[in-house]
Amino acid sequence: MEMPRPNPQVIARKADLIERLSRVLPADAIISDPAETRAYECDALTAYKCPPLAAILPASTQEVADALRICHDMGVPVVPRGSGTSLAGGALPTEDSVILGVARLNEVLETDYENRFIRVQTGRTNLSVTGAVEEDGFFYAPDPSSQLACAIAGNIAMNSGGAHCLKYGVTINNLMGVTMVLMDGTVTEIGGAHLDAAGYDLLGLICGSEGQLGVVTEATLRILHKPEGARPVLMGFDSNEVAGQCVSDIIKAGVLPVAIEFMDRLCIRACEAFAKAGYPDCEALLIVEVEGSDAEIDEQLETIMEIARRHNPVELRQSTSAEESAKIWLGRKSAFGAMGQINDYMCLDGTIPVSQLPYVLKRIGEMSGEFGLDVANVFHAGDGNMHPLILFDANKPGDLERCEALGAEILKLCVEVGGCLTGEHGVGIEKRDLMTDQYAPEDLSIQMAVKDVFDPKWLLNPAKVFPLASSEAHRIAAE
């Protein structure tokens, strides 16, 4: 992966930088010893690594602002970091960059049930936001599988989603306001406890901007009362195409489940070995979940199971207890980890129109044969967000390259059928160079013009999202 050449002048002034930062941050918030900066050399895309010049861990918006101002004045690139679970290399440092980690910003600032929001510092983990309100019956809806570890900061930067976003939406649909510090240290407040922030929808723009527009330190999030109950049903089919057709039919029928998840045989076996969820051994499995009271659940599932029956399922079984449901979801949410235990894999994240599911699954199967690499599929079928996992052997020379080539072909297929390169993991460095397959040069140039406005010096996470060749003119103009 090509990265911009580190700026030797910045590296040469490291001592000066650390000295200046130490005037605004406590000593234990600055990490500059090369033995310790290694801890920040990568995120969950571990194929790429590079220790940063330094890492800082500010504990307040003011400290973030002070530190950013110093980096801005000295021309030092800054890579914001939440929990480092990005699968796209979004938090990958460069040699001349400072990692700004928000892990110490983890307070709950305000909980308001009457107005249904919670205000938190963004280093707080996704699951602990729900943790702060669940005793009172509330929850924060977006539920990425990494929710135990990932931070709200990263969720906002990547506009993360989860299995239940078919009903509740992704991060942006649940984000009401942010405090964001611009690269020059300016603190901005956008939105708040009211709906639809004034002026242009900057919230919509910031969410998903991968840490390139500002450092988000606080967030106002919508919370909801938990549903009375939820129940998944397992549907096994003997072909991927039939399962894909069933998904489309369910959606068309007018009952909208909270989640429709898909797994193919490779994944089913790995997840079953891991979670003992009682998944059937078949070609394709759907987990469909609905919510409500028991009677409401029965009513919805009746319609949904009737549709499934028309597709001759090899298995059709409702969960009969809370424990069984928890196991069914544990299996699904551990899919990446479970696959990782049996093989090296690369996880893709394209989205396609749901109507194209059967065709795309068929093509992926053919391409897998052509490249000689197995592909396991596990994904959010209800909204067409696919996660093909390409299995390879990291120790076998040439396998990673072949795997990356197949990955690129699959993502191009997603674009070809009317979809996109990434549904929830973000572009980062991983899909950066494919952006020209989805967008024309002028479509990218208007996006980069947005970065020019927020970060005129192109210091915030500059090597991500845009192909280096496309962003070169902007980066040079910024110097």
Footprint of other proteins on 96-125 (CB under 8 A)? 113-116
Q: Which residues pair with 119 in a beta bridge?
A: 110, 220
Nearer to other proteins, 5 or 200 (CB): 200
Interaction pattern, residues 13-52, with ligand FAD; x per rule: CB under 6 A: ------------------------------xx--------
Among the listed ranges 18-26, 43-51, 59-67, 449-457, the one in contact with other proteins (CB under 8 A) is 449-457
CA distances from 311 to 246, 307, 369 (A): 7, 7, 27
461 binds, among other proteins, ligand FAD, none (CB under 5 to 8 A by kind): ligand FAD
Question: Does 472 interact with other proteins (rule: CB under 8 A)?
Answer: no
d(CA 217, CA 152) in angstroms, rounded, equals 9
DSSP, collapsed to helix, strand or coil, labels residue 301 as helix
Question: Does 302 interact with other proteins (rule: CB under 8 A)?
Answer: no
Question: Does 84 interact with ligand FAD (rule: CB under 6 A)?
Answer: yes
Question: Does 3 interact with other proteins (rule: CB under 8 A)?
Answer: no
Q: Which of 461, 470, 471, 475 binds ligand FAD (CB under 6 A)?
A: 461
Q: Which of 52, 77, 161, 177 binds ligand FAD (CB under 6 A)?
A: 161
- Please report, as residue ranges, which positions from 85 to 104 form the binding site for ligand FAD (by CB under 6 A): 85-87, 90-91, 102
End-to-end Cα distance, the chain: 23
Tell me if 414 sits within 8 A of 385, measured CB to CB: no
CB-neighbour burial class of residue 242 (10 A; exposed 0-12, middle 13-18, buried 19+):
middle
Question: Does 161 interact with other proteins (rule: CB under 8 A)?
Answer: yes
- Please report, as residue ranges, which positions from 336 to 395 form the binding site for ligand FAD (by CB under 6 A): 336
198 binds, among ligand FAD, other proteins, none (CB under 5 to 8 A by kind): other proteins
Among the listed ranges 73-81, 259-267, 389-397, 398-406, the one in contact with ligand FAD (CB under 6 A) is 73-81
Q: What single letter denotes the amino acid at residue 40?
A: Y
Question: Does 257 interact with ligand FAD (rule: CB under 6 A)?
Answer: no
Nearer to ligand FAD, 84 or 257 (CB): 84
Give 212-253 as a DSSP string.
SS-EEEEEEEE-EEPPS-EEEEEEEES-HHHHHHHHHHHHHT
Interaction pattern, residues 115-134, with ligand FAD; x per rule: CB under 6 A: -------x------------
SS3 letters across 8-24: HHHHHCHHHHHHHHHCC
d(CA 130, CA 208) in angstroms, rounded, equals 21
Q: Which of 425, 462, 463, 471 binds other proteins (CB under 8 A)?
A: 425
Tell me if 118 sits within 8 A of 71, measured CB to CB: no
Tell me if 395 sits within 8 A of 430, measured CB to CB: no
Question: Does 295 interact with other proteins (rule: CB under 8 A)?
Answer: yes
List the Cα angle 114/115/116 in 5-degree steps.
Answer: 95
d(CA 350, CA 259) in angstroms, rounded, equals 18
Nearer to other proteins, 67 or 172 (CB): 172
Residue 348 is encoded by which pair of tokens? 């893709």
Nearer to other proteins, 262 or 466 (CB): 466
Question: Does 280 interact with other proteins (rule: CB under 8 A)?
Answer: no
Give 394-450 as a DSSP string.
TTSTTHHHHHHHHHHHHHHHHHHTT-BS-SSS--TTTTGGGHHHHS-HHHHHHHHHH
82 binds, among other proteins, ligand FAD, none (CB under 5 to 8 A by kind): ligand FAD
Strands 117-121 and 284-291: unpaired
Question: Does 341 interact with other proteins (rule: CB under 8 A)?
Answer: no
Nearer to other proteins, 17 or 459 (CB): 459
List the Cα angle 288/291/296 in 5-degree steps.
Answer: 110
Among the listed ranges 27-35, 209-217, 221-229, 262-270, the one in contact with ligand FAD (CB under 6 A) is 209-217
Contacting positions for ligand FAD (CB under 6 A): 43-44, 79-87, 90-91, 102, 122, 144-146, 150-151, 153-155, 157-158, 160-162, 210-211, 215-216, 336, 424-425, 461
